[in-house]
Amino acid sequence: MKRLVIILSLMLLIACSSAHDNDEKEHKDVSSETPTIDNIHTDKDIKIIENETLEKITNEYITSEGYRVIEYEDGYTTTFSPEGVLAIVKTPQSVDFTKYDYNLEELPQEEGTEFFHDLRSRDLTRIDLSNELDYLLTADFDDDTKWPSSVPKEYDIEKIKEYGMDPGLGIRKLHEKGITGQGVGIAIIDQSILVNHVEYKDSIKLYEEIHINSDSAAMHGPAVVSIAVGKSVGVAPEADLYYIAETHGVYMEDGFDWDLYWIAKSIDRIIEINEALPVDKKIRVISISLGIDNPERKNLELVKEAINRASNEGIYTISVGNSLMGTGRKPLADPNDLSSYTKGHFWRDFDNYRIKRNILVPMDSRYVASPTGNDKYVFYYSGGMSWVVPYTAGLYALCSQVNPNITPSEFNSAIYNTATKVHLDDTNDEYNILNPEGLINKIKGK
């Protein structure tokens, strides 16, 4: 089983594949709970790009629930809602990492992770942690981690969780004023999720799958959803979520074969869904935690064309890049205190010239929805750019709520004009950190 966090450059995301759970979950049909809309698609024409080379269909059928299922030669499957309905077409299973041999005699020292450590779902009860504070302060853990009685008193796990859930920078003060993203649609394209997770189950309006080959939730999807729209973690906790689970390529014997064709197809599916939504419930932003502008990835031009089509429909697509960068934060530092922020974990040793021109967004030390259960969470010491994208998408939803006429260019200009200058270390270097309250005030004044 691969459980990796790969952070290779300023513009790459974390990627992690997840194990399958043997527990069977009851399938949830929510079509009766969601509004009926007209002309989402017809059986003859999905209005999304076709590619004879990639899309080699071996089987196509309609299930008893009315879902349209397309099976491909490579073993992957696409599942759409019934015609005229927004539906959750599948309930992916949770994963159980505790079934692996994680009963440890000593703390793991994993190659390549000397600055952060994976304690998720591990049994630490046989280990003396009394002198391991420095190690623990750079560790990932989840609700299934078993702790010994020797945890240092300075390592306040509950406080770490509390701070990790808070989006920080005064976002919750905006929520108290009713600025929650209510009525605004956010679309996310990412890995499979637990559709019934308590963090976001009340926000999800649609869950479909494009080119998927797993029945289990993955690590990545639940995290990005909770950062965008989670009721406790999210920037826009009352926004409407439209989710496309997608796999951009296939796993080969010699590694992952990246192909952005399926991202393009997912964007076009979102456009199609949006066309049928009421005027006051439109999707305003798409969150894609992937570095798209990589010339080595296949079908890059198809994605750019799809993004342009979305833009023409008033939908802003945010991906890794977009002149954004993530900040670090020590686990026990208050996320609403500007002095708590540091250089992001993965870029702290990089040349800072370009980063000084970017807008910094909270990234590290987040406690987010876990794929291990509908009421379980996980703490990630190092977030990666994947966490920055849904945060910014949630912020765009807040701006769209207070000013429905906001455009991406106005949003980006306002972010720069309202950013706060900060020092992230003991040098004189200045960085631009997001100022949510100032941004909202600027947008409301337009």
- The residues annotated with a catalytic role in the active site are 190, 220, 386
CB 359 within 8 A of CB 321: no
Pairwise CA distance, residues 343 & 4, whole Å: 22
Residues 6+ apart with CB under 8 A from 153: none
From 187, 217, 207, select the one nearest 374 (Cα to Cα).
Answer: 217
| Tokens of residue 125, six digits | 């009860």
Q: How far is CA 307 from CA 262, 316, 387, in A?
A: 13, 8, 20
Helix (H, G, I), strand (E, B) or coil at 409: helix
C-alpha separations of 159 from 166, 207, 223, 373 in Å:
11, 33, 19, 22
Write out the two tokens for 109. 């020292």
Helices (H) and strands (E) in the chain, counts: 9, 19
For residue 106, which of 129, 139, 134 has the smallest C-alpha distance? 129
User: Who contacts 120 (Cβ-Cβ below 8 Å, separation ≥6)?
Assistant: 3, 97, 140, 141, 142, 144, 145, 378
Cα→Cα distances 216→95, 100, 212, 377, 435, Å: 7, 16, 10, 16, 37
Rounded CA separation 47/54 (Å): 17
CA distance 113 to 386: 18
Cα distance between residue 89 and residue 68, in whole Å:
9
Question: Helix or strand or coil: residue 10?
Answer: coil
DSSP structure class, residue 195: T
Nearest one of 228, 243, 252, 268 to 89, comparing CA atoms: 243
